[in-house]
Amino acid sequence: MVVGAVIMNNELTAQELLVAIDKQWATTKDIMAVGCVGENRALKVKKNIYEELRAEGYELPRNKVPMEFVIKYFKLNIDFLKNVANERNKKHGK
């Protein structure tokens, strides 16, 4: 769903997506970037994740959810992204 995501006419590369998810906590803006969704949808995603985790007894920081659950929500394939990023780096001699 997110691979090859486009955010406001700017394509998010596999490497950029890996950088975006390389953090413990996700804000609304992070969810917008990772999921290639608008602010309203990102707020709904964050609320769903937040409520689910609170129901399980987790204490969470205000206005953030674990990136791990954002990755699961959008079903990102990390291995695939790493492979694509590595292949691109090989092509461009990085």
Q: Report which of 74, 56, 65, 59 is spatially closest to residue 5, judged by C-alpha positions.
A: 74
| Residues 44-94: tens digit of each pLDDT | 999 999 999 999 999 999 999 999 999 999 999 999 999 999 888 788 776
Residue 61 lies in a domain: yes
- Count structural domains, the chain: 1
Q: Give the residue numbers spanning the domain of 41.
A: 6-89
| Residues 31-57: tens digit of each pLDDT | 999 999 999 999 999 999 999 999 999
* Count of CB atoms situated within 10 Å of the CB of 31: 26
Residue 94 lies in a domain: no
Threshold 0.85, pTM exceeds: no
pLDDT at residue 91 in the model: 82
